[in-house]
A and B are shown apart, each in its own frame.
Chain A
Amino acid sequence: MNRHLISAGDLSQDDAVLILDTADELDRIAERPVKKLPTLRGRTVVNLFYEDSTRTRISFEAAAKRLSADVINFSAKGSSVAKGESLKDTALTLEAMGADAVVIRHGASGAPHRLAGWVRGSVVNAGDGAHEHPTQALLDAFTMRRRLGRLDGLRVTIVGDVLHSRVARSNVLLLSTLGADVTLVAPPTLLPVAVGGWPCSVGYDLDAALPKADVVMMLRVQQERMNAAYFPTVREYSRRYGLDAARMALLPEHAIVMHPGPMNRGVEIAAEVADSVRSTIVEQVANGVSVRMAVLYLLLSGPGQGA
């Protein structure tokens, strides 16, 4: 594995399977009364969050703590140049504190790349702009494998704002590496113009895609898209691309419904779908801790680390 986890595209199939298998093992520990392992004792993990994301930060924090790492939460809001300290100066500060790993969430695509150039520790991308969110893709793949037993040949349909979605980018890259068949479904306005070159299929018709899906993953519609002519109205979006109970009935019997959260109930997903037995949304959260434990464990205690 690389020293950093910045893009799901950097993972080979062997890397990805190793992370998922390791997460499986670590997941069993979560069932014990004492959930803690001594593996990363004395190592420092910094959560550097430039955007509010309580769920992702808590997930990384729990993962690091279960491995006995020291955790520093560093919340720095706003654009680095406009307000206060630059990302580089923050990086140098973390470096001076001896961070072994920096988990970064940032509104600017590529911020983890920049950070990796300024710190010696491992950089874990916890979401950068509209670029990537590789641990989300890993936990999604982990959840699919748990529920459906395999990833190879699995038909995964991802629905919604692909253009601005780091979750979609990381999932397309990771799932294609793992042999799944990914289909993106969205209004054309919310797809990148060159999406034809991505390792997946693309469609505009959700009803046509659902009967062929083993997994349907609904993406959150951001509030700011609703006023920028990407679609006429929220109601029209919901009618054409929202997953309600009637649409869910088009899915094969075994198919599951995923959402990276936070959900807009009644927009991209109806409440009865979110709360149905097909929904893995709560499981995804739980699996996130195990997958992030696996990532931190493999980055920080792998060969050549430890010293």
Chain B
Amino acid sequence: MTGTWLITGARPLGGDPADVLVSGEAVAEIGPGLDAPGSQRLDADGLILLPGLVDLHTHLREPGREDAETVASGTAAAALGGYTTVHAMANTEPVADTAGVVEQVWRLGRQAGRCDVQPVGAVTAGLEGSRLAELGAMADSAARVRVFSDDGQCVHDAVLMRRALEYVRAFGGVIAQHAQEPRLTSGAQVNEGEISGRLGLAGWPAVAEEAIVARDCLLAAHVGSALHVCHVSTSGSVEIIRWAKAKGWQVTAEVTPHHLLLTEALAGGYDPVFKVNPPLRTAEDVQALRAGLADGTIDCVATDHAPHPLEDKETEWQAAAFGMTGLETALRVVHEALVQPGLLDWAGVADRMSARPAAIGRLSGHGRVAPGEPASLVLYDPSPREAVDPASHASKSRNTPFAGMVLPGRVVATFLRGRPTVLDGKLAW
């Protein structure tokens, strides 16, 4: 379906309306009143045109938990959410800690074809936190891994973390840390505070995140390496990262859509759809995360899309799995949480959801809408306000915390290198 597309009347990065001519895999021309006889036309009057979104943090569950998600279903969900690249986290079964597994995931993504899949390699063998995985082999593989993470587990051993940070410098890699001091969070279920005390659930204190963030910033500075902090969830972490950046250290960070919109109060009914790691925090944390994303302290939005089958959520709270789906709602949530309050404009959204995550992932060909650039694009209608309907989602799982919540906007079309993956809000093929 590649060929020539003329997208008319869209507003690139929310600016003045223009026509965009897509030819082959690239954007050929942007300007008013373009004409391209024989091209397919897409009337995009009033739609926002953004670069295709890049997710640094996706759980595709394949191999191992194909009942929750597959590369095919997860990339379909990604396309429907406006994504053209997702980074597939390493905590699969088997763990993505060898060149063989990361190449398999990468190939599955190529076969699915709706969204690029960039595997994340495990930092430690088996995510066990005791010895480094073969990071160089994964970097040199066909998957060209540059982001390494034990996400789900914290690389809590300070020596191992230091070595990992140092080692990946040889191939321009980055360590993405799941910041969670394990001893302070043994059995932890919800943010430690008023809610945990009232509900009688073991608390997950903010300090357990902040202590690791602070330590790792200092380690990254000491060895001159790049640190990326996954799913920042507390105001204290934002302050520490702001301080580290002011020092000029190579520290980047992400925040999830759910931490930008939801608070710990949702745990009050013990419905595990709101159980996530790190946990939902306070309203003050939500405000600090929004401000941090707006001022660039937090570089990007990453979904931490974590699909789970129904039976892993239809349980008592403490028996339930951690995690929420997010690919199909992320842009709408960012619209609600940042654009509508005036904290971020659409150029800012393009930066935080496409250009910066691509830069952190060491990927080229993302984040810009310009002639000559790959035509990986998303068209977004900002005007509707509709309730989130999990039944409409392409993800195999339904554990969205936004079910029934009225959110603005709708992804109308997604293009991956000139080829539409989504048209009229539905999968194009």
Contacts and interface: CB of A to CB of B under 8 A. Distances in A.
Question: A and B bound?
Answer: yes
Residue with the highest number of chain A CB atoms closer than 10 Å, among B193, B198, B316, B319: B316
Contact of A114 (B199, B201, B316): B316
Given A81-B315, A108-B319, A114-B315, A194 B193 contact: yes
A238 interface: no
Given A79-B319, A87-B315, A108-B319, A113 B200 contact: no
B200 A86 contact: no
Residue with the highest number of chain B CB atoms closer than 10 Å, among A82, A114, A131: A114
A108 B197 contact: no
A263 interface: no
Contacts of B312: 81
A292 interface: no
Given A193-B192, A193-B203, A193-B205, A110 B197 contact: no
Interface in A102-118: 106, 108-111, 113-114
Contacts of A164: 200
B318 interface: yes
B315 A80 contact: yes
Contacts of B157: none
B194 interface: yes
B315 A195 contact: no
Residue with the highest number of chain A CB atoms closer than 10 Å, among B193, B197, B203, B271: B197
A197 interface: yes
Interface residues of A, number: 28
Contacts of A110: 199, 201, 270, 316-318
Contacts of B200: 109, 128-132, 164, 166, 169
Interface string A193-215: 11101100000000000000000
B320 to A, nearest CB: 8
B235 interface: no
B314 interface: yes
A52 B200 CA distance: 19
Interface string B298-316: 0000000000000110111
A192 interface: yes
Contacts of A108: 316-319
Interface string B127-139: 0000000000000
B196 interface: yes
A197 B194 contact: yes
Interface of A: 79-82, 86-88, 106, 108-111, 113-114, 128-132, 164, 166, 169, 192-195, 197-198
Interface of B: 192-194, 196-203, 205, 269-271, 311-312, 314-319
24 contacts: A80-B316, A80-B319, A81-B312, A86-B314, A108-B319, A109-B199, A109-B200, A109-B201, A110-B199, A110-B201, A110-B316, A110-B318, A114-B315, A129-B201, A130-B200, A131-B200, A131-B201, A132-B200, A166-B200, A193-B203, A193-B205, A194-B193, A194-B194, A197-B194
Given A106-B316, A108-B319, A130-B202, 14 more contacts: A81-B311, A86-B311, A109-B200, A109-B201, A110-B318, A111-B270, A111-B316, A114-B270, A114-B316, A130-B201, A131-B201, A164-B200, A193-B197, A193-B205
